[in-house]
Amino acid sequence: MTRFVTRCALGLAATLLAAGATACSPAAQQEPSEAGIHGAELDQPYAASTAELTTTSGEKRSLADVDNDLTLVFFGYTHCPDICGVVMSTIASALTQVDEDLRDRVDMVFVTTDPARDDAKVLRGYLDRYNPEFEGLTGDLDAVVESGRSVKVAVEEGEKLPSGGYEVVHSDHVVGLDAEGQGQIVWTKDISAKQMASDIETLLTR
Please state whether beta strands 53-55 and 135-138 pair in parallel, antiparallel, or not at all (unpaired): antiparallel
d(CA 153, CA 10): 19
Does 80 carry a binding-site annotation?
yes
Residues 6+ apart with CB under 8 A from 52: 60, 61, 62, 139, 143
Ligand-binding annotation for 84, yes or no, is: yes
Rounded to whole angstroms, how far apart are CA atoms 83 and 123? 17
First CA to last CA distance, the chain = 12
To the question of whether residue 8 is assigned a binding role by annotation, the answer is no
* Helix spans in 56-159 (H): 83-96, 100-103, 120-128, 141-150
Indicate the helix (H) or strand (E) that contains 197.
Answer: helix 193-205
Residue 39 DSSP one-character state? S
Residues in the annotated binding site = 80, 84, 170
Residues in the annotated binding site for Cu cation = 80, 84, 170
